Amino acid sequence: MKKKPFIIPSACAAILLIACAILGYQYAALGARYKTLETEAFHLQEDNSDLNTQLEDTSSKLEDNTSQLENSASKLEEQEKYIAGQKDFISQLSEQIDSLTNGDSSGSDNDDGDYWSYDPDNDSFPNLYAAADGEKTQNNSKYVYLTFDDGPSSLTPKVLDLLDQYNAKATFFVVQKNNEEYEEYLSEIVERGHTLALHSYSHDYNEIYRSVDAFLADYEKVYNWVKEKTGYTPSLFRFPGGSNNGSSYVGHQIIKEMERRGFVYFDWSVSSGDGSNLTTTENIIDNICTHVGTVDLPIVLMHDGSGKDATLAALPSVLQYLADEGYEFRSLDKNVEPVQFRSSSSKES
């Protein structure tokens, strides 16, 4: 009976040892589990890092592909604009060829109006006469004649500055209506050694090609404008749309009367195609540089009127190409053989 007091403590100690053993086992199990979770977390981090790298690579490739698609779309758009510009240019050339082929066939018909003849006693335009012929002579040098229609405009001084860079002389066929705010550039054209020529007052085909008198009335306005603002007497002109525009019969009568007054008209042998709003800078460069060497007398048609930014952008490349090809840039005068769409033999009709 004396041993009973020790049973309870012994039992408690045994329970405590068992509990410690269980806790120790649990701790060891938790430690192993922690290490397992730690290893899994490390692998997950590595996997996540790999995924992030792959995601970044994929995003980078996607950005590159998107950029390539945008560039391809931009190039495709530029090509479409170029093709559209060339189609319009070809259409203009086709119309011009049709006009040249068929336009003079009606030259002797009087259906377009009454016969017009000059009456010295009843001259409504007594001051509309060209300047006398100059002393300038031409030789067999390699010349190119750049011409600009429909100015002056805000682009004109920029064109003049580019021409100066190449010591290039050109001819400006000016229009008065809607361009009066830029009239200060008329004198600048003359002062920089270029030829100032007439294109019309209104550039309104329906108005100026109605009759000889309508044409003379229009040209007298722009003629007086140029003389008043510059003191220069112009002697060259260009028909709006070219000499093959308007009625064949009236056109022949206009030519005869303007020549009687001492004026010389010039069409062109190389077109930049910039008369169309579809024409791109690349169109203009290609049209000029491709065709300038195919004609004996390259008279190049361009425009410096409002909105012809593509022409201004193309001009440096055109000037550089022509300079590299050995051309000398000259302005037109009355001693240059004119390019004219209406043949001289048809003028007598």
Is residue 29, in this structure, part of any structural domain at all?
no
Q: How confident is the model at residue 22 (pLDDT cuts 50, 70, 90)?
A: confident
pLDDT of residue 268: 97
Give the Cβ contact number of residue 160 at 10 Å: 21
pLDDT of residue 320: 98
Is residue 96, in this structure, part of any structural domain at all?
no
Q: The domain spanning residue 257 has which CATH number?
A: 3.20.20.370
**Quick check: 111 pLDDT over 50?**
no
**Quick check: 342 pLDDT over 70?**
yes
Instruction: Round to whole Å and give the CA distance between 229 and 35.
Output: 97
pLDDT of residue 151: 97
Residues in the chain, overall count: 349
Is residue 54, in this structure, part of any structural domain at all?
no
**Quick check: 346 pLDDT over 60?**
no
Is residue 263, in this structure, part of any structural domain at all?
yes
> Of 263, 221, 271, whose CA–CA distance to 242 is shortest?
271
Is residue 162, in this structure, part of any structural domain at all?
yes
Is residue 90, in this structure, part of any structural domain at all?
no
Cα 284 vs. chain centroid, distance in angstroms?
7
pLDDT of residue 137: 47
Is residue 276, in this structure, part of any structural domain at all?
yes
Is residue 160, in this structure, part of any structural domain at all?
yes
- Total domains present in the chain: 1
Quote the longest CA-to-CA distance of the chain: 169
Instruction: Round to whole Å and give the CA distance between 275 and 250.
Output: 24
Tens digit of each residue's pLDDT (9 = 90 or more) over 269-296? 999 999 988 889 999 999 999 999 999 9
**Quick check: 30 pLDDT over 90?**
no
Tell me the residue range of the domain where 306 lies. Answer: 107-346
Is the whole-model pTM more than 0.75? no
